[in-house]
Chain A
Amino acid sequence: DTGVSQNPRHKITKRGQNVTFRCDPISEHNRLYWYRQTLGQGPEFLTYFQNEAQLEKSRLLSDRFSAERPKGSFSTLEIQRTEQGDSAMYLCASSFGSQGETQYFGPGTRLLVL
């Protein structure tokens, strides 16, 4: 399968715990995006990378959130001291090119914070 992959697919955690999600983009895609999606809403942009550089972060990305893409391939999204409001689907997408319009999404990681 050459699409975007995300792990884990589901994560249940207790409030206050840290969680880390991984995204493997389509190979050769230089741009990688993280989004958050809550029930009944469209995906909301969190951050994106061009190669290993993090170029933009949304105001939604609080200090408890950090994302990395150390070698310009896979990326991780960490949430520290999780809160119930962090419960959502976390989506990763990748694209190719300088403008990278067509973003291809992974299946998402569904997070439930108890």
Chain B
Amino acid sequence: GESVGLHLPTLSVQEGDNSIINCAYSNSASDYFIWYKQESGKGPQFIIDIRSNMDKRQGQRVTVLLNKTVKHLSLQIAATQPGDSAVYFCAEKIGYSTLTFGKGTMLLVSP
């Protein structure tokens, strides 16, 4: 299920389930979006990115979906593993500007 924790929304899933992490971005002019995974005590790790001229992009076990009409971005993780447990951030960018990060979602995967 999904719950709002003290600091971060949290998604708890069982190993092997598919996970969907959602992100509402702020600027309709944003033309580039990126997902990062951050484990405790480490820097953000690049997962996948997508440009605004696309609505779907697939990587290894991950898919990013972009819905510009409602300014919504999602990250789908197939066959979630305990090693996927981390905080996931979406970020957006307009042209040459810098990245603006969302608040993050904690993913907890139970064996």
Contacts and interface: CB of A to CB of B under 8 A. Distances in A.
Interface string A75-114: 0000000000000000101000011011111111010000
Interface residues of B, number: 25
A2 interface: no
A101 B44 contact: no
Interface in B57-111: 89, 91, 93, 95-96, 98-104
Contacts of A41: 103-104
Contacts of A106: 43
Contact of A42 (B96, B98, B104): B104
Contacts, number: 56
A45 B92 CA distance: 12
24 contacts: A4-B43, A40-B7, A40-B103, A42-B101, A43-B44, A43-B89, A43-B99, A43-B101, A45-B98, A45-B100, A48-B98, A91-B44, A99-B96, A101-B32, A101-B34, A101-B49, A101-B93, A102-B46, A103-B99, A104-B46, A105-B36, A105-B44, A107-B41, A107-B42
Interface of B: 6-8, 32, 34, 36, 41-46, 49, 89, 91, 93, 95-96, 98-104
Closest A-B pairs by Cβ, 5 of them: A40-B7, A42-B101, A105-B43, A45-B98, A105-B44
